[in-house]
Amino acid sequence: MQLGAGLRRALARISGAAVVDEKAVRDMVKELQRALISNDVSVQLVADLSSRIERRALAEKPPAGANPREHVVKIVYDELAGLMGEKYTPDVKKKRVLLLGLFGAGKTTSAAKIAKFYKDRGLKTGLLACDTFRPAAYEQLSQLGTTLGVPFYGEKGAKDAAAVAAKGLAALKDCDVIIADSSGRSALDPDLIDELKRLTAAFRPDEKILVVAADLGQVAGKQAEQFNKAVGVTGVLVTKMDGSGRGGGALSSVHATGAKVAFIGVGEKLGDLEPFDAKKFVAGLLGFPDLPALLERIKTVAEEEKIEPEEMLEHFNFRTFQEQLRATKKMGPLSKVFGMMGMVDLPPEMMAQSETKLKKYDAMIGSMTKAEREKPELLKERKRIERIAKGAGAKPEDVREMIKQFEQMAKLFKQFKSNKGMRKKLEQMMASGKMPRIGG
């Protein structure tokens, strides 16, 4: 199972739960564990993550502007991002970059990808072939250089990587960024360590980027540790994130060693490279690339509307009802909001209906008099209902339906008012700018 699908299934346990209680949180966490462990995330990391999510989901109060569901989604999102790493912002400036790693990790391909990355950002970039172990490496990098149209230096048949580097630095001295490829081995042995040390002394890289393949899973973290200890690394590039069922394991294990995930390779083409951004990565997995935007919007709406739970409890009338409706509407098309929350399985007609209803209700309340808005009991009169319907371009039965919805909610409020625990829940709910069952 792909990691994203598994994580979305876990979130569906929360978005689909009737209430966000201990059981719902536990169910979700179990599903999360399954998804992460099948992606080769270490059992220890998964256990730590689970207990943090459970503790926060049950103990923390949703901040202003988030209901309990959104709050839990945000906790999961934050924690997953924290598990995978941070955000890497490459310095676009003059520098020397050395790529290192074992056979087949993707060093040579990534050297060209990074060259393209800086070239696209306006820097003069050159490629330097320091893999003197594998005869074909020279050809491969030379061809990639030609494809990219960037300067290349290498010596066919050379044996001493450090000597090539020294000459290469002179040959490529006009370049702002020099990317050096290096030799791999099947394991980090003393021979490779020695070669890398001598290469480093000659090339004097500003960045030493370890290249590891995502399909190593947790082993990527072990390699990061070993290479760092032996020759020092400044960042890790995880290749083959496309299609690997272990990318989560690779990223999280690298991050756990304290090494920084710098780039991810997401395909075989030269453009398939991204500076790593854990939040963006996780948002993509969860299926809502706009999650940060959504959460921000919820917050702003709540602040703008300034709906005071206390006021709402004391005076629940059509005015406060309308404020709630508007806050809900401002969050954007409901379909999008639901989609972002992982509630992708709602039938589209139901979402379309909810949106239409929100608009209709708003229009109806808009055609009430001020007195009617503040004293709902006035709406017992048929004449008023007919007038409101006409003003809103609706039918009287539509207005009655809206009143019924309003009354249901008013009843709920009354119950809440006399019950402390429920009252707290309601206040949280209202802080989100959302009401239950509107147009549901």
Chain mean position to CA 329: 24
User: Binding of ligand GDP at residue 103 (CB under 6 A)?
Assistant: yes
Q: Please count the other Cβ atoms lying within 10 Å of the Cβ belonging to residue 272.
A: 18
Task: State the amino acid at position 8 in one-letter form.
Answer: R
We find the least distance from the C-beta atom of residue 355 to ligand GDP, in angstroms, to be 41
Q: Which is nearer to ligand GDP, 110 or 320 (CB)?
A: 110
Q: How crowded is the C-beta side of 4, counted as CA atoms within 13 Å?
A: 15
Selected range binding ligand GDP among 62-70, 158-166, 236-244, 377-385, rule: CB under 6 A: 236-244
Comparing every residue's Cβ against Mg ion, the nearest one is 108
User: Binding of ligand GDP at residue 267 (CB under 6 A)?
Assistant: yes
The entry of Mg ion, ligand GDP, none that residue 103 binds, CB within 5 to 8 Å by partner kind? ligand GDP
We find the least distance from the C-beta atom of residue 304 to ligand GDP, in angstroms, to be 44
Q: Which is nearer to ligand GDP, 111 or 177 (CB)?
A: 111
User: Binding of ligand GDP at residue 107 (CB under 6 A)?
Assistant: yes
DSSP SS3 for 53: helix
DSSP SS3 for 236: strand
Pick one of 101, 126, 205, 249: the residue that binds ligand GDP (CB under 6 A): 101
User: Binding of ligand GDP at residue 109 (CB under 6 A)?
Assistant: yes
Report which secondary-structure segment, H or E, holds 410. Answer: helix 396-417
Question: Which of positions 107-146 make contact with Mg ion (CB under 5 A)?
Answer: 107-108, 137
d(CA 35, CA 244): 14
Comparing every residue's Cβ against ligand GDP, the nearest one is 265
Handedness of CA 93, 98, 102, 104 (dihedral sign): positive
CB-CB contact of 364 with 394 (8 Å): yes
Q: Which is nearer to ligand GDP, 70 or 272 (CB)?
A: 272
Q: Which residues pair with 127 in a beta bridge?
A: 152, 179
How many binding residues for ligand GDP (CB under 6 A)? 18
The entry of Mg ion, ligand GDP, none that residue 267 binds, CB within 5 to 8 Å by partner kind? ligand GDP
User: Binding of ligand GDP at residue 184 (CB under 6 A)?
Assistant: yes
Q: Please count the other Cβ atoms lying within 10 Å of the Cβ belonging to residue 178.
A: 28
User: Which residue is listed with tokens 């806050």?
Assistant: 327
Provide CB contacts within 8 A for 131, sequence distance 6+.
Answer: 107, 108, 137, 138, 141, 161, 181, 182, 183, 184
Write the DSSP string, 306-373.
Answer: T--HHHHHH--SHHHHHHHHHHHHHT--HHHHHHHTT-TTS-HHHHHHHHHHHHHHHHHHHTS-HHHH
Q: Which is nearer to ligand GDP, 14 or 114 (CB)?
A: 114
User: Binding of ligand GDP at residue 272 (CB under 6 A)?
Assistant: yes
Pick one of 15, 50, 108, 354: the residue that binds ligand GDP (CB under 6 A): 108
We find the least distance from the C-beta atom of residue 68 to ligand GDP, in angstroms, to be 39
Pick one of 21, 120, 268, 386: the residue that binds ligand GDP (CB under 6 A): 268
Q: How crowded is the C-beta side of 147, counted as CA atoms within 13 Å?
A: 15
User: Binding of ligand GDP at residue 265 (CB under 6 A)?
Assistant: yes
Q: Which is nearer to ligand GDP, 25 or 141 (CB)?
A: 141
The entry of Mg ion, ligand GDP, none that residue 240 binds, CB within 5 to 8 Å by partner kind? ligand GDP
**Tokens in use for 29?**
């966490």
Pick one of 69, 71, 240, 260: the residue that binds ligand GDP (CB under 6 A): 240
We find the least distance from the C-beta atom of residue 322 to ligand GDP, in angstroms, to be 52
d(CA 29, CA 350): 29
User: Binding of ligand GDP at residue 218 (CB under 6 A)?
Assistant: no
User: Binding of ligand GDP at residue 145 (CB under 6 A)?
Assistant: no
The entry of ligand GDP, Mg ion, none that residue 60 binds, CB within 5 to 8 Å by partner kind? none
Handedness of CA 43, 47, 50, 52 (dihedral sign): negative
The residues of the shown chain that bind ligand GDP, judged by CB under 6 A, are: 101, 103-109, 184, 211, 239-240, 242, 265-268, 272
The residues of the shown chain that bind Mg ion, judged by CB under 5 A, are: 107-108, 137
